[in-house]
Structure 1
Amino acid sequence: MSPAPAPHRHRPPRSARAVLALVPLLGIGALTACGGPAASASKGPAVRVSLGAANGMKTVQAGDRLRVSADGGSLTKVVVSDPKGRRLPGGLGDGGRVWISHEPTAPDTKYSVAAEARNAQGGTNEVKESLTTAKADKLNKVVLNPGSQGATVGVAQPVTITFDFPVTDKAAVEKHLKVTTDNGTPGAWGWVKDHSGKDRVDWRPKEYWKPGTKVGLRADLNGVDSGGGRYFAKDYDLNFTIGARHVIEVDLDSKHLTFTENGKEVKDMPFSAGRPDAQHSARTGVFPLLAKEGTITMNSGTAGAGDAHGRTVRDAMKLTDSGTYAHAAPWNAGQVDRADDGFGCIGLADDDADWLYARVRVGDPFEVTGSSVRGRAAQDDRLGDWMVDWPQWQKKSALPSSS
């Protein structure tokens, strides 16, 4: 004779703010792994189990911890896991009458709950149930850089994660981020603001990457609250490789640029760097190449020039979000080693610009040194991670330093 079917359970509709729907009391004998009775009637009544929030509310809101409680006995084991097999950690309390999760539940996630209990007569019972949390009302999204899976980048390229909305709980987010390398490269996370004012967290190696290093990012952000009830809705993975060691040394005093590869000087070329005044001179600093943009029309107003106007240039190599580039400067023919009428960019002769553009890759560092009326570039002018020394960088992490 087959067992009677389990009674139908009516689940009330979820409210707009509810992350976890209210679950009715669960009789331990009602459900088992194989569908049979979970306890013998001769060993006393089954312990009843109910779910709710740790704060005592029956409905679990976004950010609440899950509470599993027993009536008529005590819990001996509780396991809560998501579809990926990741467990929601928690612990027993009040003599085994309650189990409370150490972390909040994630939105839009199906949880499997398995509980074992013991009644006063020594009968042991098991119940298995599942529940699905609602989608979060507010989401946060990210942009990863390098932006291409499997890319080969330069030795100064950090891992960057830019957030659509402010991150007010930076520690909660950072502890779900992990960078791995195939050679144990030391590095650290640091929180910065990008040029548009958005929150960004970068992982920068202590020194330039070793060529050939394979790098992986794992961001287990699905269900993490970035602060104020704004959640992430997915996890992220990124893998890339470090290319040859290209360093572009730019000397504003000698007006010469030197391209080195794996420590060997390959080519030296003259350049111009704008008029030596507060509006037009080039800034100093370390600038990992942001992008190779080809032929573009530049707006000198983005670089702070009051007499803004546009010029079409080729071989455009973007160094900052504020408008600093290295590019071909055909109007400087015959005088590229002197000041010109540019706006703080690195102007090269056409042949030299073609040569450099063909060899550089995103993440290659342009190390600009020498005398500059405008001084050093701001750290938030895109990838300014190398503008500070290593001890200063480590202080930008939201978590205690491990070194």
Structure 2
Amino acid sequence: MSLPAVPRPRPSRPSRVARTLIPLIGMAALTACGGSAASASKGDPVQVGLGAANGTKTVRAGDRLKVTASGGVLTEVTVTDPKGRRLPGGLGNGGTAWISRAKTAPGTKYSVVARTKNAQGGTFEAKESLTTAKSDKLNKLVLSPGSQGATVGIAQPIMITFDFPVTDRAVVEKHLKVTTSNNTTGSWGWVKDHSGKDRVDWRPKEYWKPGTTVALRADLNGVDSGGGRYFAKDYDLAFGIGRSQVVKVDLDAKHLSFMENGKEVRSIPISAGKPDAEHATWTGTFPLMAKEGTINMKQHLARAGRAETVGLGDAYNKMVRDSMKLTNSGTYAHAAPWNADNVGRTNASSGCIGMIDSDADWLYGKIQVGDPFEVTGSSVRGKADRTNGIGDWMVDWSRWRKNSALSSSS
């Protein structure tokens, strides 16, 4: 039916730093209509108001929205954002109030539809909208693998590194969804990266199956990462898993085996780090972080602030080809022609895994980011720290799952 227009008070525009703008909305600010003229004529329309669940009339970003009814009850409330996503909530107080279970996001327009019934059985519908102001504090993130549609190795986890600390980890983790083409079992785990930033990784229980396709949906727009620091967008990532390739490095035997589908296709002699506390090569499982080609090793690590961690001195002040990065502290596999006499005989490097040029060229051509280097043998340094590179495979599956913020409920 058609109702006469009702004047609507307009709230004043907030300052740039304000985080919301809509006051309590009374009957004068709502349009009411019934399913039929007869229904609408049964008594006075129900008055509907909007506010925050904490009792304030102003709804701020991060508040829970409250819809109230006076002179009747609410029968249904729907609150949606511009993408059609609902703000979940439920009725309470005998139907006189509806409170959202999720918090409102900054910089978001919400459309509210409230259906009501009065004591005489008259039914009505009230419509309104509110817009929260943009937040002055944001959190951002970096995804890895970093390229959409990339093909990576069987040990590559999904990694999300945050610009600012995440204190509401469970809330953030609930908005992260991983889907795979073969229902791979995996879990999120929270870690610190080498710079101390918060990072959450999703790794499978076992190495990925070759050919698996993986998709991440980070539905984070408007989510508070803690302390009122919000995300301002959603994120998507899709990539695929390549061939089954594993590099098995035996420090004691001074050789590595390149495995394809569980079979050795090439045995390569190596010279690893000197057997002392300063130069010994770390052990553990290292997904290949990057293929960096030919670099000046000392200058490259110095720019990253890491040259001192591997005792390079002037020995590595040279161009190094076929550089394959394994840790943040400077462990690489690469060609080492200056150490050729020791390859296959003595561990004499500054911590890296060195090969003659032809073997390094071959391995560099075959390897892909995310392929695991499984380094075993005697090492006075033992396993690398989990923050030193991609350390997700340094622990077994049961321990990894405990790193999830939702582990108690999983």
TM-score range, shorter chain: over 0.9
Aligned equivalent of 1:304? 309
Q: Is 1:334 matched with 2:341?
A: yes
Aligned equivalent of 1:47? 46
Aligned equivalent of 1:361? 368
RMSD: 2.3
Deviates more, 1:16-25 or 1:223-232: 16-25
1:98 and 1:278, CA in 2 relative to 1: closer, same or farther beyond 3 A? same
Does the 8 Å CA contact 1:153/1:361 hold for their aligned counterparts? yes
Q: How many residues get paired?
A: 401
What is the distance in 2 between the residues matched to 1:66 and 1:18? 14
Q: Is 1:290 matched with 2:258?
A: no
What is the distance in 1 between the residues matched to 2:409 and 2:66? 33
Q: 1:21 is matched by which residue type in structure 2? A: I
Q: Where does 1:143-182 land on structure 2 (aligned, <5 Å)? A: 143-182=142-181
What is the distance in 2 between the residues matched to 1:279 and 1:377? 13
1:288 and 1:33, CA in 2 relative to 1: closer, same or farther beyond 3 A? farther
1:32 and 1:341, CA in 2 relative to 1: closer, same or farther beyond 3 A? farther
1:305 and 1:244, CA in 2 relative to 1: closer, same or farther beyond 3 A? closer
Q: 1:108 is matched by which residue type in structure 2? A: G
What is the distance in 1 between the residues matched to 2:182 and 2:131? 41
Does the 8 Å CA contact 2:9/2:29 hold for their aligned counterparts? no
What is the distance in 1 between the residues matched to 2:266 and 2:135? 55
More helix by share: 2
What is the distance in 1 between the residues matched to 2:160 and 2:329? 19
Aligned equivalent of 2:14? 14
Does the 8 Å CA contact 1:287/1:320 hold for their aligned counterparts? yes
Does the 8 Å CA contact 1:44/1:123 hold for their aligned counterparts? yes
Does the 8 Å CA contact 1:223/1:233 hold for their aligned counterparts? yes
Aligned equivalent of 1:347? 354
Does the 8 Å CA contact 1:161/1:202 hold for their aligned counterparts? yes
Encode CA deviations 1:292-332: one digit per residue, 9 max, x unaligned. Answer: 01111112753624463333201110011111111111101
Encode CA deviations 1:55-79: one digit per residue, 9 max, x unaligned. Answer: 1101122321001111222211111
Instruction: Name the SS of the counterpart of 1:351 in structure 2.
Output: helix
1:341 and 1:311, CA in 2 relative to 1: closer, same or farther beyond 3 A? farther
Instruction: Name the SS of the counterpart of 1:19 in structure 2.
Output: coil
1:384 and 1:303, CA in 2 relative to 1: closer, same or farther beyond 3 A? farther
Q: Is 1:131 matched with 2:138?
A: no
What is the distance in 2 between the residues matched to 1:292 and 1:227? 36
Does the 8 Å CA contact 2:270/2:354 hold for their aligned counterparts? yes
TM-fit CA distance, 1:358: 0.6
Deviates more, 1:252-261 or 1:73-82: 73-82
Encode CA deviations 1:357-386: one digit per residue, 9 max, x unaligned. Answer: 011000000000000121110011121010
Instruction: Name the SS of the counterpart of 2:31 in structure 1.
Output: coil
Deviates more, 1:316-325 or 1:68-77: 68-77
Deviates more, 1:19-28 or 1:271-280: 19-28
Unaligned runs of 5+ in 1: none
Q: Where does 1:3-402 land on structure 2 (aligned, <5 Å)? A: 4-14=4-14, 16-27=17-28, 30=31, 40=40, 42-299=41-298, 302=307, 304-306=309-311, 308-309=313-314, 310-339=317-346, 342-400=349-407
Instruction: Name the SS of the counterpart of 1:103 in structure 2.
Output: coil
* TM-score normalised by the chain length of structure 1: 0.94
Instruction: Name the SS of the counterpart of 1:233 in structure 2.
Output: coil
Encode CA deviations 1:240-299: one digit per residue, 9 max, x unaligned. Answer: 111110000111001101101111211111111122211111110100000001111112
What is the distance in 1 between the residues matched to 2:55 and 2:2? 39
Encode CA deviations 1:214-250: one digit per residue, 9 max, x unaligned. Answer: 1111111111111111111111111111111000011
